[in-house]
Structure 1
Amino acid sequence: SINTSVNNVTYHDGFTLHDLVSYAERHNEANGEENRDGHGHNLSANYGVEGETQDKSILAMRAQQKRNLFATLLFSQGTPHILGGDELSRTQQGNNNAYCQDNEISWYDWELDKYRQDFLAYCQQVIAIRQQSELLSRMYLPDDAYQLHSNVSEVNWYKPDGSGKGDDDWQAGGNKAFAVEIIGHQEAGDKCEHWLLCFNTSNRDIKFNTPLKSPNGGWSLVLDTRYSHPAKQPGLRIQHQFLQAAHSFALFRYTDFPR
């Protein structure tokens, strides 16, 4: 069952989230094993400079990728496993095997600059969204034989042009953008949740055609990772189209518009 999984992006054996977007290679020299310890397959990137930098464009890209990864983790079905300190942008200076480092390499830095404060506020926002929604954290599918439930959910996958994704689309190369619609069918009288999650992993802005359910309603933007702080996010409502920024994730909730 999808609800019984435990999901993680980072773990104590490996890079922290901050280091995952700051280092392309491990830097375990301080461990005294000539950088041979720790695994070398980190699936990481530094976006132009290895390690810390003052380059604002690189810092902005790293911060956005952290927001993307954290949102993907929290809005995946199952239990999210968050590495302690990731919400504080903790770094181990590229060390992915810091078990032997009882010093500044592994310690928490509680003095948060604006960059770290903004990311902490973002993490708090994402966690709050998940906590306020039953569907984003636990949904029941009709073919889930492990967890049978009367209130099954509907899941639809879309390409950016609004057409449905078929089996061949998943196998085709260049799948950099897609959307998933989640509809919770509740008992009479219960509140029905209806979400649209849009992913654009490409390096260009992409126009999404959103599924239109009613002329009297549309999609309200709940989260957009292009914005570094919740206070900067606009109150956007759309019906048909949405221009999604490169390297971003956007979360919409379907609502009836006031008449």
Structure 2
Amino acid sequence: MERTSLYDFVFFGTSCRYLVDVRAPASYTASGCVGYNIQSVFKFLNENKMKVSMNAARDLYSLSKEFDAKYSEGENEHMTEEDIERVNVAMEVLRPTILAEAEEINAFFAKEKRYNIDLLYDNPADIFGASVFYELPESAQMDFGEGLKCIVLERGTAAAYHLMRGSEATLKQLYLSIVKQKRLAKPMWGPMVSKLEERGVLDDALKGTLENARRGFRNPVAHPDRFYSVDEAQDILGTTTQLVSLIVSHEKYTR
């Protein structure tokens, strides 16, 4: 998925309207004038892969090549009335094709969430707190980043799965920080917590949060028949941020 500013769409419409309405005297070369707006139209059509419109724009393209050679900055930048009318006509002919093709292209917009969308999509460290996030294992950082993007994209079950994986990776990092010998062959949530409890290194807050996370979402998320809404995924995110903060703040935790 590619992020595009809504401004680009507004500006494209403005450029099209300008080329239909522009009248003499008008500069071809000055910024914001005829040549600039023709190139803006081509740029938008190309970036958005509007192939039908690009093909229909060949007359406008031919005019731009002709005028690139004919007009230059300074004394020769202003277009003749006849040339401006040719631009008007070319753009007026092109507009119906653009509008028709645009009807076949969909743009998707993220809905508002309980968390800031920009932070969810681009800055997971600001959701978890930078002092916590950058102390997490790299795999956990990646999973949390993907999970937060899934929330933005309305993929609740995928978000829950990534959040669970990231949480388990963080718990494993705490386990490895404390248990140096005779480690579990396959460190899993329950056995790791049991080993840490045996060593008496879990305070009540962390122990309770680990158990709530295990019962509330770690085990259910792993079940193939369980699906999650985006609201449920955001609930899990709240529990996850609390859990990993407690783990990272543990006196024996090392990355």
Q: Which structure has greater strand proportion?
A: 1
Q: What is the TM-score when the length of structure 1 is the normalising length? A: 0.23
- Pick the structure with more helix per residue: 2
TM-score under structure 2 length normalisation: 0.24
Structure of higher CA gyration radius: 2
